[in-house]
Amino acid sequence: MIDKFRAHVLGLPRRAKQAVLILSDIALLSFSLWTSYCLRYDNWYAPQTIDEWAVIFSAPVVAIPIFVRLGLYRAVVRYLPERAMWTVLQAMAMATIVWVLAVFLSEMAGRGVVPRSVPIIYFGLGTLLVAGSRFVAKWVFLSRRHSLSSEHKAVLIYGAGDAGVQLANSLRSTHRVIGFLDDNPLLHRRELAGLRIYPPSKLEQIVNDYGVSDVILSIPSITAQRRKEIVSSVSARGVKVKALPSIADLVTEKYLVSQIKEIDIVELLGRSSVPPQPELIRRMIVGRSIMVTGAGGSIGSELCRKIARWKPERLVLFEANEFALYQIERELAEVQDLIIVPVLGSVVDQSRVEQVLADNHIAVVFHAAAHKHVPLVEANALEGIKNNVFGTSIVAEASFSHGVEHFVLISTDKAVRPTNVMGATKRWAELTVAKVAARANRAGTGQKFCAVRFGNVLGSNGSVVPLFTKQIANGGPVTLTDPEMTRYFMSIEEAAELIVQAGALSEGGDVFLLDMGDPILISDLADNMIRLAGLTVRDEHNAHGDIEIVVTGKRPGEKMYEELFYDATTAQRTDHTKIMRAAPKIIDLDIDTALTELKASVAEHNEATSRDLLFSLVRASG
């Protein structure tokens, strides 16, 4: 019986519920004032005259408009926060004062005298009954499946538009939807789909009042910059931020509650997405035999995924790590009508590289194989030189000899004025590719050799993002080398897509620079990742936060900031808005002789001399 009654009441329209609440308050306030008179005169009597009835009903006549103004009928009773008691106190105090003023004016008109103790009794009794009735109703309607359990999380929807209304209706059965946040001031204090619309400035108060755990971003057409601002603002309150699918998914009727996703750290980069140019990708991939070295690595594997979608004749996966090769082969095996050739081998094995190029008639090579972790390469300089310098030389020379039409080296911003072995080896690799490109131009072969230089990719092997994620999951601390250190970041998907398009723009000997946007403080990245996890930073301003950020100091070879250009003023635009070309520069260096000397030094395991030879050539190229 109780369950049926509860279900019936909860099923009423919101206006009907508000009407029930108002009628209840009229009865309770009238009863409070009548009781006040009875207690004052120590006589329980029934009103006899019209004047007596008028006095009794004057209480709700005065109080109800005040209650409406202070929002006592906007709150959902079954989710009423304890702090609402103060709102009731405030409303009753104002109602009592206004009633006393009204009575005073009535006394001046000769309608009788009201004892001074009656307003005091009325205030106390009215507060008790009005507040008590609400909390009793809350207790009744929050039982069992309507309880504040983890199954009914409190959520706010950011965006009071059509998408937000549809989302609210979809979520009602599984979540406790508190209301909407919206930037439009004309919507504030209004209701939509029976839910209140709040300004974003009220977020902290709403979170505290209702225990909101998630804010769902429901503005499909929002710009990247505005999304970044909203996510940063909301996550700073210790609330998780989620988002709806893109507008394209909404148009194609893929709009489902199950598609609500966690906001990724990529959302905070504030980067505007540029659609790929299909003609550039088609020119590089369709119907051609492609080889990707380092195919099991983070960049290499993403390149393979992109290439596989554009129907190459065959895709050769060249990888030294057996397990990494196994993983990417298994993944791509699901692509229909694609010939996959897994090759287990090292780029420093010249005969193996040449055999694979010849057997598969390779037309395009993406050279992603490299040791890229700065501290590890710094501690293992000779291995870094072997793989990054000698390996690139072998693959580039073999590609030239076997008629490869396009060769694309995956380089890094650390190659610009390098301070560590990894950056220096990648700069040497760029010089090697430029040398082979010049030879192809002189020979008139039509072969295009180029390098693509960019910064960090989020989620790649050795990136700080997986490290921070693990540290946060373990409860911290999150470790920074320096709070002022900055880096360029882009998503791994965007980087792979731009690499392919850059290769198609090559004229031979190019160094392409991907537009990385603005550099990001690593400390800001750590702070945002902690907040996106629904946690708070523990520091001197918040001693009870969840995760501490600890500064460990710079590691050997690390730079405080990275550069994409040797001279940013000479960068040239290309046909793609996200791809730039470094200005051509004639470098008169005897790379072949330097390479012979470096090989001899490495063969002797002379690390000091090898470092000197490595950096001397790189410095001469700058």
The model's pLDDT over 183-208, given as tens digits with 9 standing for 90+, comes to 888 888 787 777 888 898 888 888 88
Average pLDDT, the chain: 82
Q: Which two tokens stand for residue 288?
A: 């051609």
At the top level of CATH, which class does the domain 154-243 belong to? alpha beta
Q: What average pLDDT does the segment 471-498 reach?
A: 83
Ordered DSSP codes for 450-486: EEEE--EEET-TT-HHHHHHHHHHTT-PEEES-TT-E
Q: Which two tokens stand for residue 386?
A: 């072997």
φ and ψ of 547, to 5 deg: -125, 130
Helix, coil or strand: residue 546: coil
Least confident span in 240-249, 335-344, 512-521, 534-543: 240-249
| CA–CA separation, 521 and 504 (whole Å) | 33
Q: Of 388, 448, 385, which is closest to residue 412 (Cα–Cα)? A: 388
In this chain, the answer to whether the domains covering 154-243 and 267-285+370-621 adopt an identical fold is: yes
Q: What average pLDDT does the segment 384-412 reach?
A: 96
The model's confidence at residue 340, banded by pLDDT at 50, 70 and 90, is: very high
The model's confidence at residue 318, banded by pLDDT at 50, 70 and 90, is: very high
Q: Which two tokens stand for residue 264?
A: 């990724």
So what's the pLDDT on residue 84? 66
Helices (H) and strands (E) in the chain, counts: 22, 23
Least confident span in 68-77, 286-295, 412-421, 470-479: 68-77
Measured between alpha carbons, how far is residue 292 from residues 69, 204, 262, 395, 410 in Å?
A: 68, 50, 32, 11, 11
| CA–CA separation, 395 and 169 (whole Å) | 58
At the top level of CATH, which class does the domain 267-285+370-621 belong to? alpha beta
pLDDT tens-digit map of 168-186: 877 877 788 888 998 888 8
So what's the pLDDT on residue 74? 67
Beta-sheet pairing, 547-551 with 537-538: parallel
The model's confidence at residue 367, banded by pLDDT at 50, 70 and 90, is: very high
So what's the pLDDT on residue 277? 86
561 or 611, which is more confident: 611
Angle, CA 383 vertex, CA 380 and CA 388 arms, to 5°: 120
DSSP bridge pairs for 523:
none
Contact 343, 292 (CB under 8 A): no
So what's the pLDDT on residue 253? 43
pLDDT tens-digit map of 216-273: 888 766 776 777 778 778 877 778 888 765 544 444 444 444 445 455 555 555 555 5
Residues in the chain, total: 622
557 or 95, which is more confident: 95
44 or 501, which is more confident: 501
So what's the pLDDT on residue 2? 55
Helix, coil or strand: residue 211: coil
The model's confidence at residue 563, banded by pLDDT at 50, 70 and 90, is: low
Residue 585 has pLDDT above 50, yes or no: yes
Residue ranges covered by each domain of the chain: 1-143, 154-243, 267-285+370-621
So what's the pLDDT on residue 196? 83
Helix, coil or strand: residue 491: strand
| CA–CA separation, 272 and 537 (whole Å) | 28
Q: What average pLDDT does the segment 380-406 reach?
A: 96
